[in-house]
Amino acid sequence: MTDMDNSQVVGVLIKVKDNDGNFRSLGPLFKFTKSDRALLRRVLLEYINLKGNNYSTINISSIIFQYIILDSKTGISIPSASPKKADSYYFGNYSLPLTTNL
């Protein structure tokens, strides 16, 4: 990245590979420029903190960074990590997940 132009857009997809050969994506495709590296780093740390428990029982053999050099006119996309709230059904004073078989 040190030799790249500041307006050049790069797409990065981060995956982990377990000992069984299965791949899991850490997040969506991040599209950023050289000047967005600090923001990308913060967002990646958010994803790791949110998804850390999902990977705690997996024996990770490698981390893979797939990247692509995109056209400079491509839009930048660094989606923030946010926990998803499960849909629920309110029954009286109780909030039940939609997976509950009433």
Domain region containing 29: 1-72
Residue-level pLDDT at 25: 85
Structurally, how many domains does the chain consist of? 1
- Rounded (to 5) percent helix, strand, coil in the chain: 20, 35, 45
With vertex at residue 49, the alpha carbon angle to CA 90 and CA 99, rounded to the nearest 5 degrees, is 25
Looking at the domain assignment, is residue 78 inside a domain?
no
pLDDT confidence tier of residue 86, bands split at 50, 70 and 90:
low
Looking at the domain assignment, is residue 89 inside a domain?
no
Looking at the domain assignment, is residue 100 inside a domain?
no
Looking at the domain assignment, is residue 20 inside a domain?
yes
- Convert the pLDDT of each residue in 33-77 to its tens digit: 888 888 888 888 888 787 766 667 778 899 899 999 888 788 888
